Amino acid sequence: MDATAKAALLARLGSYLEGLDEIPPQPEGGAPDLFTLLAELAALKNEVKIESRQVKSALEQFGALFDTLKLVNERQVGELAACREVAQAQAREAERGLFLELLDLRDRLADGHAQHRLLIG
């Protein structure tokens, strides 16, 4: 191994050893101490509470939105039914007017035919 590689390796080892001072000491066996474990559990419990509140709030907002959409949908169904009734009434009225015109035309033709018969013979 040349001198440059050794110097680089020693520099990496030195920076690693300096970083060990920042890590809290671990008890024997590698398991965290009870205080650290309880502190982490308390933090996790708080995070779960916050997340559950956010989920509950989102569900309430979605529920309100779905209720609003349901009301709008019911209103539109009612309006559509009313429009259909109006359209059917207009169609009936148009058909009635046409039928009355046809009856009038038939009566005039019958009267004209009767007068023609009187004139001819």
Amino acid 4: pLDDT: 87
For 6-29, what is each residue's pLDDT tens digit?
888 788 877 777 776 555 555 566
Per-residue pLDDT of 73-112, as tens digits, reads 999 999 999 999 999 999 999 999 999 999 999 999 999 9
Please report, for residues 34, 38, 89, 99, the alpha-carbon distance to residue 43 in angstroms, rounded to integers and kept in the order given.
14, 9, 69, 83
Look at residue 82 and tell me if it is in a domain: yes
**28: alpha, beta or left? (left if phi > 0; alpha if psi -120 to 50):** beta
How many domains in the chain? Answer: 1
Euclidean distance between CA atoms 42 and 20, whole angstroms: 26
pLDDT at 1: 67
Asked if the structure places residue 39 within a domain, the reply is yes
Secondary structure class of 4 (helix, strand, coil):
helix
pLDDT at 24 (0 to 100): 56
Distance in angstroms (rounded) separating the CA atoms of residues 47 and 61: 21
In a domain, 56, yes or no: yes
* Residue 18 included in any domain: no
Q: By residue range, what is the domain housing residue 58?
A: 34-120
pTM of the model: 0.46
